[in-house]
């Protein structure tokens, strides 16, 4: 890449960062270039410089570029074995712990919730646990899903999905979805009882100002799902997120990472491994 192209690429990243507030300059270089090049191909622009001019002339392209970089691929019960470990290992422990102390609520945070699939999946498991264990029914539960993309957050709040998006959720837990037909499309809406415990907000987990979890100053979480988002960022951002997430977990709270996500080496001493295979960790006592 010659100097002009390098400068054009840096400028694209700089103005996109300014437009979106998302720290794309901390994205892994390879992913960043690959994704921008995709937009070059789709808009038939042969160079970064020409694409930069196009971007400035047609600001609507910012949204397309942003969408291309923030990949919203997700699904209900993605990696089902992880959710099974949560259902049979994590939830019984947490509900019992809260019951014993006689106070507190069970709070879950899905840090990069995309269109809501992960947060609603967790909500279903919580509802199912309470349905099957009468003693746990008086424990208040909540799930917060947050994402940097406000359009994805709006979709999550609506909670309307195509049959194929729901995958195993629809066959295993049909009672949580209501079939609706919109202009010949077969869609499914999340049941109001599930919507009641799952809420969404727009939130950038890399923001250096982020000092408290999105639930409020006093919110501390029992479970934090940090899945398939760290993979896009460089080590500096990863460490920042880990430190903050640590602070937002209750002592002995659970952190669940994505399959291809790795905990920074120096953070390992602050967590205990609950299930290495499922990437489930427990917050330890000492803090970084």
Ligand X SMILES: C[S@@+](CC[C@H](N)C(=O)[O-])C[C@H]1O[C@@H](n2cnc3c(N)ncnc32)[C@H](O)[C@@H]1O
Q: Are 112 and 146 within 8 A, CB to CB?
A: yes
Q: Does 148 bind ligand X (CB under 6 A)?
A: yes
271-275, strands of its sheet edge to edge = 198-202, 141-147, 106-110, 221-226, 249-257, 280-283, 271-275
Q: Does 114 bind ligand X (CB under 6 A)?
A: yes
State which of residues 55, 139, 152, 230 lies at the interface with ligand X (CB under 6 A). Answer: 152
Closest CA to 88 of 274, 283, 287, 288: 274
Tell me the closest approach of the beta carbon of residue 228 to ligand X, in angstroms: 4
User: For ligand X, which is the closer residue by CB, 23 or 98?
Assistant: 23
Tell me the closest approach of the beta carbon of residue 74 to ligand X, in angstroms: 3
Binding residues among 192-221 for ligand X as defined by CB under 6 A: 204-206
Scanning 124-132, 148-156, 189-197, 214-222 for contacts with ligand X by CB under 6 A, the matching segment is: 148-156
Q: Does 147 bind ligand X (CB under 6 A)?
A: yes
Scanning 39-47, 54-62, 224-232, 242-250 for contacts with ligand X by CB under 6 A, the matching segment is: 224-232
Site string for ligand X, 66-105 (x = CB under 6 A): ----xxxxx---x---------------------------
146, β-bridge pairs: 201
How long, in residues, is the chain? 288
Parallel/antiparallel/unpaired status of strands 185-190 and 160-162:
antiparallel
Question: What does the alpha-carbon distance between residue 146 and residue 203 come to, in Å, rounded to a whole number?
Answer: 6
Q: Does 238 bind ligand X (CB under 6 A)?
A: no
User: For ligand X, which is the closer residue by CB, 61 or 118?
Assistant: 118
Tell me the closest approach of the beta carbon of residue 146 to ligand X, in angstroms: 6
User: For ligand X, which is the closer residue by CB, 116 or 253?
Assistant: 116
CA 61 vs CA 58, 69, 149, 162, 204: distances in Å: 6, 12, 15, 27, 21
Query: Residue 95: how many CA atoms within 13 Å on its side-chain side?
Result: 25
Q: Are 118 and 110 within 8 A, CB to CB?
A: yes
Scanning 2-10, 96-104, 186-194, 227-235 for contacts with ligand X by CB under 6 A, the matching segment is: 227-235
Instruction: Give the angle subtended at the CA of 137 by the CAs of 253 and 109, to the nearest 5°.
Output: 30
Binding residues among 21-60 for ligand X as defined by CB under 6 A: 22
Sequence-separated (6 or more) residues with CB below 8 Å from residue 103: none
Tell me the closest approach of the beta carbon of residue 145 to ligand X, in angstroms: 9
Q: Are 139 and 210 within 8 A, CB to CB?
A: no
Q: Does 244 bind ligand X (CB under 6 A)?
A: no
User: For ligand X, which is the closer residue by CB, 54 or 66?
Assistant: 66
Tell me the closest approach of the beta carbon of residue 176 to ligand X, in angstroms: 18
The site for ligand X (CB under 6 A) is made up of: 22, 70-74, 78, 112, 114, 118, 147-149, 152, 204-206, 227-229, 258
């Amino acid at each position: 890449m010659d100097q002009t192209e390098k400068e054009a690429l840096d400028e694209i990243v700089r103005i996109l960062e300014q437009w979106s507030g998302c720290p794309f300059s901390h994205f892994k270089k390879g992913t960043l270039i690959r994704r921008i090049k995709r937009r070059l191909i789709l808009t038939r622009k042969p160079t970064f410089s020409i694409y930069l001019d196009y971007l400035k002339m047609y600001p609507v392209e910012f949204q397309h570029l942003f969408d291309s970089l923030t990949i919203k691929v997700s699904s209900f019960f993605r990696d089902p074995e992880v959710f099974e470990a949560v259902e049979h290992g994590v939830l019984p422990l947490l509900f019992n712990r809260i019951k014993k102390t006689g106070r507190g609520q069970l709070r879950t945070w899905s840090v990069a919730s995309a269109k809501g699939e992960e947060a609603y999946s967790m909500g279903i498991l919580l509802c199912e646990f309470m349905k099957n264990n009468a003693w746990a029914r008086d424990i208040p539960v909540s799930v917060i899903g947050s994402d940097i993309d406000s359009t994805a957050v709006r979709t999550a709040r609506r909670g309307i999905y195509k049959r194929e998006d729901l995958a195993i959720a629809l066959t295993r837990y049909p009672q949580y979805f209501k079939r609706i037909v919109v202009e010949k499309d077969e869609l499914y809406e999340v049941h109001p009882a599930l919507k009641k415990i799952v809420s969404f907000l727009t939130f950038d987990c890399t923001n250096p100002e982020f000092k408290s979890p999105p639930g409020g100053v006093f919110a501390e979480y029992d479970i934090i799902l940090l899945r398939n988002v760290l993979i896009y960022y460089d080590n500096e951002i990863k460490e920042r997120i880990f430190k903050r997430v640590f602070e937002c977990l209750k002592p002995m709270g659970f952190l669940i990472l994505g399959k291809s996500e790795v905990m920074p080496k120096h953070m390992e001493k602050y967590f205990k491994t609950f299930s290495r295979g499922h990437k489930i960790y427990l917050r330890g006592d000492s803090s970084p």
